[in-house]
Structure 1
């Protein structure tokens, strides 16, 4: 099992696509183990996007991510990181395949609706930025036996 951080970015919130995005993750069989809405501060943005702070595009990235609330989600599932990234599609919504979240709802490189962790290391670091350990809810879904075999 893996956990991944998902951020529904300001454009997703402003366009009222929160429910649509969450329903796709749930339909795929991913389990929500943490969920909250928050306003990203410039300080949190700098921590989250630390590798980009010195790059020329960082200021516009910070301006965007702090412009409206985001929804932070901790998702759990088999190969959750890879599964989520496949569901999102290409970073640039114009290049994302139809059927992916970005392919269906985005036409921008920056306003691409959702951030998702790209590795287990990133997921651990990012989840710690947005959630305290006690904010995760570990529970068993009764429908798991109908979603995957015991040996998966």
Structure 2
């Protein structure tokens, strides 16, 4: 099979509060991506500091942590051919005001950090982030009937 990858997506507190979780999930499902793990989780300061470590010196870091801890997030792992790039296209630019029309961020959010979702930006980041948020036994392998169409095998 072609380049099947896995990537992490976090649906952030703003999307949870606005009851948009289903709409976000639908975008990925419509593309033919496969969900292999999903859970609702309250993130703690230690996990978030590790996850956003590259932003520790930024003046908004404390506000970012508070924002991400205010409600649970939905953590998911998606699988598919070239899934990392596909998810990034569906999600759109980090700044919703710069995101292309039709992306999650352009269509459903107005600013950073309330930009609805986090998505891994590389294979390496996805591997680290998946391990940060999921134990091996929380991730499933299964075949969907539609896999043969999405993976180019036809009928």
Do these two structures clear the TM 0.5 threshold for a shared fold by scoring above it? Answer: yes
Q: Distance in 2 between matches of 1:75 and 1:41?
A: 23
Give matches, 1:48-67, under 5 Å: 48-67=51-70
| Deviation sequence 1:7-45 (CA, Å, 0-9, x none) | 000001000000000011011011000000000111111
Give matches, 1:3-152, under 5 Å: 3-150=6-153
**TM-score w.r.t. length of structure 1:** 0.95
RMSD after superposition: 1.2
Give 1:150 shift.
3.3
Structure 2 contact 81–151 (Cα < 8 Å) conserved: no
Give 1:142 shift.
1.2
Number of aligned positions between the proteins: 151
Structure 1 contact 92–108 (Cα < 8 Å) conserved: yes
Q: Which runs of 5+ in 2 are unaligned?
A: none
Q: Distance in 1 between matches of 2:122 and 2:147?
A: 24
Q: Distance in 2 between matches of 1:103 and 1:148?
A: 28
Q: Distance in 2 between matches of 1:109 and 1:50?
A: 17
Single out whichever of 139-148 and 117-126 deviates more from structure 2: 139-148
Give 1:54 shift.
2.6
Q: Distance in 2 between matches of 1:106 and 1:28?
A: 21
**TM-score w.r.t. length of structure 2:** 0.93
Q: The residue matched to 1:94 in structure 2 has which SS? A: helix
Give 1:144 shift.
1.5
